[in-house]
Structure 1
Amino acid sequence: MGKPTGPKPQCLLGMLPLFHYYMGKGTANYMKFSLRNSIRWSVFIFIFTFILACVFSVSSTTVLEGVGWGIGVLIVFFLVLVGILFDMMGIASAAAQEKPYHAMAAERVKGARHAIHIVRNADRFSSICNDVVGDVAGIISGAASTLVVIKFLASIDQNGAVVTTVVTVGFTAFVSALTVGGKAMGKSMAIHYSNRIVLIVGKCFYFLEERLKIRIFQVRKAKSGNGRRGKTHAAGKRESTR
């Protein structure tokens, strides 16, 4: 008799969870682990975003109240730039390839091991960069734009409805267009230069860890095998002389 044809048992067993999922049996057990992690991550993102938004809002409002509208415009542009840069970092982490960084880590390139951890945790890293910092910076820049417009109108002593509407709509539209256009260009650059961008971020994390003792990832340093190889070589020489 010939060998039976058809899929192997391993493949059939591997399809059983998917079968139970579609049949509505065992869905809770099959999705329990990922759902639990997703809920935990969502709660963490909620708390982190709330705290970051409070810090950004209070700091930007405090600074804007003590400066003129010209400095306020620079602060708004800075917030827009922060959103664009973090959006680039998030896209680059999702588009980068892990393999080149292993070769760099073997050559002890600074930041290569941190870049590996960024790529391996691209989903969470991009979520923090794009959804948390990027979106919060965009929202705060919109609120800051309103304060800048109010200060500008007060400086030129214009309370007319037409002037107020034109200045408010014009400046808000300009900031929105600058944000969207900057992020569009940043996404294109992040996709084409993803490996370089992630390596730069990895070097920044390396600097924070080595110089400022601020650890972002739990990166294991490569163990040197010189001592073990030296002992083995010495033992081999002793055996050869006997």
Structure 2
Amino acid sequence: MARNLGRSSWRNALTMGGGTFFIALAVGYGSQAFLGSITSIVLSFFLLLIIILAGIVFDIIGVATAAASEAPLNARAARKIPGARQALGLLRNAERVTSFATDVVGDVCSTLSGAVGAVIIIRLVGRHGAEDMLVSTLMTAAVSAVTVGGKALGKGFALRQANDIIFFVGRLLYALERVTGWYPFNYPSQKGRRP
């Protein structure tokens, strides 16, 4: 039994690590290509803000998944409210969802925000002749403050509104499933059928 748990942990770690590598590769390449195609500092800051907000939003989803309870969602699922069964799927796979949302996406967004911040620093120093160390220090401090402050605010919101957040994400997944036919989780009780 302990050996199976060990293998499962290793498999999960390798899957998450490999997934993180490819997600970071794709998103990093896309953001660098986007940055290379724009010359506006304002658009560069806008991209940086989007990356930071994505990290905060996924952190909220991860915390809400860990904090939500099944009872209200079971009641909604019994009434066949769209999105309720998808939300239950998130809760029944809370460990995987939380790891993906907070570790994979959160870490990728943190790394990317640092890389985009570095590009902005280079552009500011090159164009405006600003003091390199001063701009670098201010940019690092600003990115860190917005990220940490946003996540702290988001965690409190996620803990207070966990069930509503998970239900909202469930509704998004329901819409995604209706359009694409894809859903990331199966219910054991449904014998492999998608909810």
Q: Same fold (TM over 0.5)?
A: yes
Deviation at 1:153, TM superposition (A): 2.0
User: 3-state SS of the aligned residue for 1:76?
Assistant: helix
Does 2:155 align with 1:187? yes
Identity across aligned pairs (percent)? 34
Aligned to 1:37: 8
Aligned to 1:117: 89
The CA distance in 2 between the partners of 1:57 and 1:113, in whole Å, is 33
Alignment of 1:165-176 (within 5 A): 165-176=133-144
- Structure 1 unmatched runs, 5+: 1-29, 224-242
Equivalent residue for 2:179, pick from 186, 191, 211: 211
Equivalent residue for 2:107, pick from 135, 138, 161: 135
Question: Greater CA radius of gyration, 1 or 2?
Answer: 1
The CA distance in 2 between the partners of 1:222 and 1:183, in whole Å, is 33
Q: Is the 8 A contact 1:209 1:216 kept in 2?
A: no
User: 3-state SS of the aligned residue for 1:108?
Assistant: coil
Q: Is the 8 A contact 2:56 2:154 kept in 1?
A: yes
Equivalent residue for 1:87, pick from 59, 63, 72: 59
The CA distance in 2 between the partners of 1:139 and 1:48, in whole Å, is 15
Deviation at 1:212, TM superposition (A): 2.5
User: 3-state SS of the aligned residue for 1:114?
Assistant: helix
Aligned to 1:21: none
After superposition, the Cα gap between the structure-2 partners of 1:109 and 1:180, relative to the gap in structure 1 and judged at 3 Å, is same
Deviation at 1:222, TM superposition (A): 10
Runs of 4+ residues over 4 Å off in structure 1: 219-223
The CA distance in 1 between the partners of 2:143 and 2:53, in whole Å, is 11
* TM-score normalised per structure 1: 0.75
Computed over aligned residues only, the root mean square deviation of the Cα atoms, in angstroms, reads 1.6
Q: Is the 8 A contact 2:186 2:194 kept in 1?
A: no
Aligned residues: 190
- 1:22-47 Cα offsets, whole Å, 9 max, x none, are xxxxxxxx411211111111110111
Q: Which moved more, 1:59-68 or 1:81-90?
A: 59-68
Q: Is the 8 A contact 1:69 1:149 kept in 2?
A: no
Q: Which has the higher contact order (CA 8 A, sep 6+)?
A: 2
Q: Is the 8 A contact 1:101 1:115 kept in 2?
A: yes
- 1:46-93 Cα offsets, whole Å, 9 max, x none, are 110000111121111111111122111110010000000000000000
User: 3-state SS of the aligned residue for 1:217?
Assistant: coil
The CA distance in 1 between the partners of 2:47 and 2:194, in whole Å, is 42
Alignment of 1:137-156 (within 5 A): 137-156=109-128
* TM-score normalised per structure 2: 0.93
